[in-house]
Amino acid sequence: MNSPRFELTRIPLFKRVVTSRWVPWLFMALTLPIFLLAILTGLFGTPAGSRNFGIIFVWIVWWALVILVMVPFAGRLWCAICPIPAPGEWLQRRALIQPRAGGKLFTLGWKWSPRLNNIWLQNISFLAVALFSAVILTTPFVSALVLLAFAALALGVSLLFERRVFCRYLCPVGGFIGLYAQLAPVEVRVKDAALCRTHTDKTCYRGSDDGYGCPWMVFPAALDKNTYCGLCSECLKTCPLDNMGVFLRVPGKDLQTTKGRRLDEAYKAFIMLTCALAYSIVLLGPWAALKETAYAVGAPAWFVYAIIFLAANLAIVPGIFLACAWLTRKISLHKFSLRRTFTEYAYVLAPLGLAAWAAFSLSFVLINFSYAWQVLSDPFGWGWDLFGTANWTWTPYFAGLQSFLQIPILLAGLIAAIGMALRTAHTQGVPSRAALPIVAFCAAFTMVLLWLYV
């Protein structure tokens, strides 16, 4: 665990920003009105998606920002400024900026069930959204209802349970951001582990007059992966020894070890991989009948689509991978159980999946980004022209050049996956060749995407 890292919090200005109690509040105070506008325009604005702020700013602008910028370069940064948990969190705290004495929370403070201390519910919530995506992505009213449901759920949960149970266990977006945040070149970590052992108060978990105990219910002193760290910066404020820091690090460092790999997280990787492939076929392919079927929720054909979609996510793609894991286990002379082999190698799909999502997103974000100028001036589609950009015409950016970005991204994802597959074999103490079936799976997946895009 001695890979090089650079402590960003040694830069005085950076440190002042991340330890300021104002900064997270300021960002949320900025994103919350935008979020509310997205809901209002969805509910009351034009039903034409490409003319509606709610559709364009959530599914084009926000989505591009999250999957192409924030997740690859800063992991869970979005979670630190996300408006969805903000009202609930402010209510829990009965404070906006300065914490009350001891960082006390006002909530019923129920504990989350230990049996649900995993991301299965997030897997389900993501799949539920994904299944209806053809409608949610294109219909302002439905999109707004979904956002409203997230907000209501987050608020309700925060009144009953302690801390950020919604973000940690329920948010459909948080699950995959957490998985892919492990690839990010940024981390919040302890500076000197020895120092933590001398500090028995554990204010980073319990809270203090300076801040709240970790809202994400991780123990910052023992933090060793980004998956559940929301970058909220509370631990930087509550550590009396100034022993928490923000670091630049080797990208993907959390995935160098196979320690603590779990089936629920493995399934997150499968669901994300499968959805990237399914969307590339259904939404972006030249097969109109598929799109219409995915959109016709409730029709008999839709049920067939739904069954195939869910089966692909939960059984077919994991099943093919299971066959590869079976071979891998055979080559490694049955050193570990099939379940363990399957689970540990599934994390190899994290870089592959992120690359697939980046490639998928590039193919529609650039093409449709110019709608953003129109809806900025006319968010409801009511004929307003706030900034004089309402009549800017649709202009596809970099049309025909996306594949020159997609190919290197997919290749980088494959190379990272191959490196991880071999590393997993070495960590398990089995020869490199044991990873070959997994490598073949990753290469085949990449080639299918290339065939779809190029």
Partner 1 sequence: MTKAALSYRHTHRFGIAASAVLLMLAAILVPLPAQAYTPRAHTLQINARAFAFEPGSLSVRRGDTVTLVLEATDTVHGLYVDGYDVNLVAEPGKSATATFVADKEGKFKFRCSVACGALHPFMIGELNVEPNLPFVRALLLTLVGGIGALAFFWK
390 binding partner 1? (CB under 8 A): no
Binding-site size, partner 1 (CB under 8 A): 50
Q: Which is nearer to partner 1, 106 or 404 (CB)?
A: 404
H helices within 263-311, ranges in order?
263-282, 288-295, 300-311
202 near partner 1, rule: CB under 8 A: no
- CB neighbours of residue 392 within 10 Å: 15
Q: Give Cβ neighbours of residue 419 (< 8 Å, ≥ 6 apart).
A: none
> What are 5's strand-pairing partners?
249
Q: Does 4 bind partner 1 (CB under 8 A)?
A: no
| Residue 129 near partner 1 by CB under 8 A | no
- Binding flag, residue 450, partner 1 (CB under 8 A): yes
447 in contact with partner 1 (CB under 8 A): yes
Please report how close the Cβ of residue 421 comes to partner 1 at its closest, in angstroms: 8
Which one of 20, 50, 257, 389 is in contact with partner 1 (CB under 8 A)? 50
Question: Judged by CB, which is closer to partner 1: 96, or 440?
Answer: 440
Among 304, 356, 353, 348, smallest CA distance to 325 is for 348
Identify the residue among 134, 231, 236, 255 touching partner 1 (CB under 8 A): 134
Among 284, 345, 373, 388, binds partner 1 (CB under 8 A): 284
Could you give the CA distance from residue 155 to residue 87 in angstroms, rounded to a whole number?
A: 7
CB of 49 to partner 1, least distance (A): 6
Phi, psi (rounded to 5 degrees) for 207: 90, 165
Q: Which is nearer to partner 1, 190 or 331 (CB)?
A: 331
- Count of other CB atoms within 10 angstroms of residue 16: 11
> Based on C-alpha coordinates, what's the Rg of the chain?
22
Whole-number Å distance between alpha carbons of 353 and 317 = 13
Q: Which of 10, 260, 401, 429 binds partner 1 (CB under 8 A)?
A: 401
DSSP single-letter state for residue 96: S
Which of the ranges 111-119, 214-222, 290-298, 338-346 carries the binding residues for partner 1, by CB under 8 A? 290-298
* Cα dihedral value 198, 204, 208, 214, nearest 10: -170
Q: Which residues contact 136 (CB under 8 A, 6 or more apart)?
A: 129, 142, 143, 146
List the one residue from 357, 368, 380, 428 that touches partner 1 (CB under 8 A).
368
The reply to whether 41 sits near partner 1 by the rule CB under 8 A is no
Judged by CB under 8 A, the stretch of 84-92, 118-126, 134-142, 236-244 that binds partner 1 is 134-142
What is the 3-state composition of the chain as percent helix, strand, coil, each rounded to the nearest 5? 65, 5, 30
Specify the residue, 47 or 240, whose C-beta has the smaller distance to partner 1. Answer: 47
Under the rule (CB under 8 A), what is the footprint of partner 1? 47-51, 134-135, 138-139, 283-289, 291-292, 295, 363-364, 367-368, 394, 396, 399-403, 407, 410-411, 414-415, 418-419, 422-423, 426, 431-432, 439, 443, 446-447, 450-451, 453-454
